[in-house]
Amino acid sequence: MTALKTFVAGLERWLLAVIAAGVLLQLFFVLRIALMAWWAPQSTAFERSQLWQHWQSGAATPWRQQWVDYAQIAPALKKAVLTAEDDLFTEHDGVRWQAIEKAWQRNQQAQAKADQGSQPAKVYGGSTITQQLAKNLLLSGERSLLRKGQELVLTFLLEQLLDKRRILELYLNHAEWGQGIFGAQAAAQHYFRKPASQLTTLEAARLAVMLPRPRYYQQHWQSSAYLNQRSQAIARRMAATDIP
C-alpha cells in the first residue's frame, strides 16, 4: 500500500511538472509574439533548422535574408501572395476550417491514387498565412497532432496580439524562396536583381507561385510551364484581392 501511495504521489508530481512546463512554454510564446509588434525577429525556427541541416551536411549554401519594412515591399507582391496562398486573409480570424477539411479530403484522394500507382502523393495544404507564420516562426518541422495543436494556439495568439499588416510583414520577410533565400528582399534581388519595392505584377505573381515548393521552382525557374501559366493566372486575379 505504501509503495502504491509513493507511486501515485510521484505520478502527481510528474503531471504537475509537465503542466507547469506547458504553461511556461505558452507564456514564453505570448511574450515573444507580443514583442513582435515592434521587434523584427532576425530569424525563425524554420530558418535556423535549415541552417543547421546545411552545416551538418557540410554544404556551403549562401544565406540571404534582409528585413524591409512593410512600405518597402511592393503592393503587387502582397496582393500576389495573398491571392495565391490566402485570398481571405483580411477577413478570417487565422484559421479557415473549411479549407483544412477540403485539403484533408484531397490528400486522402491523392494518397489513394498514389497507392494504386508509382507516382508519389501530392500534398495539399489548407493553412492560412497566419498558420504558416506560426509554424515557421516558433515550431519545429515535425508532423504530429500535438504540433498541429500548438500551431493553432500560436495562430490564435498572433491574430490577437498583432494586426493583419504586421502578420503579413513578418511573413513576407521570412518566407522561403529557395535554398538559403528568405524574405521578399532577398528573393527580389536574387531572381530579378531589384529591391522588393520595385517588383512588377507578373514578377510578384511568379514569386507567389513558388511558395509551396520554393527549392523545386528555384531549380526549374526557366523551364517550368506550370510556373509560367500559374503566374499569369494569379496576375489576372490580383486586382480583386484586398491587402491590409
Whole-number pLDDT of residue 7: 61
pLDDT digits (tens, 9 = 90+) for 157-174: 999 999 999 999 999 999
Residues 6+ apart with CB under 8 A from 189: 64, 195
Rounded to 10°, the helix 225-237/201-210 angle is 120
Rounded to an integer, what is the distance from CA 13 to the centroid of its chain?
37
Mean pLDDT of 10-27: 77
Total residue length of the chain = 244
- DSSP 8-state assignment for residue 194: S
First-to-last alpha carbon distance for the chain, in angstroms, is 64
Q: Rounded to whole angstroms, how far apart are CA atoms 6 and 8?
A: 6
Mean pLDDT of 140-159: 82
Residue 181's DSSP bridge partners are: 64
- DSSP 8-state assignment for residue 143: -
Q: Rounded to whole angstroms, how far apart are CA atoms 164 and 149?
A: 22
Q: 198 pLDDT exceeds 70?
A: yes
Average pLDDT in the chain? 85
Whole-number pLDDT of residue 23: 78
Q: Rounded to whole angstroms, how far apart are CA atoms 16 and 22?
A: 10
**Between residues 54 and 236, which one has the greater pLDDT?**
236
Residues 6+ apart with CB under 8 A from 217: 178, 209, 210, 224, 227
Give the residue from 243, 214, 222 showing the smallest Cα distance to 88.
243
Q: 16 pLDDT exceeds 90?
A: no
List the CATH code of the domain at 63-92+164-244. 1.10.3810.10
Pick the range with the lowest mean pLDDT from 42-46, 52-56, 130-134, 199-203: 52-56
For residue 65, report the phi and psi dihedrals to the nearest 5 degrees. Answer: -165, 125
Whole-number pLDDT of residue 62: 75
Q: What pTM was estimated for this model as a whole?
A: 0.85
Q: Rounded to whole angstroms, how far apart are CA atoms 180 and 63?
A: 5
Q: 120 pLDDT exceeds 50?
A: no
Whole-number pLDDT of residue 210: 96
pLDDT digits (tens, 9 = 90+) for 47-84: 888 888 877 776 666 788 899 999 999 999 999 999 99
pLDDT bin (cut points 50, 70, 90) of residue 18 is: confident
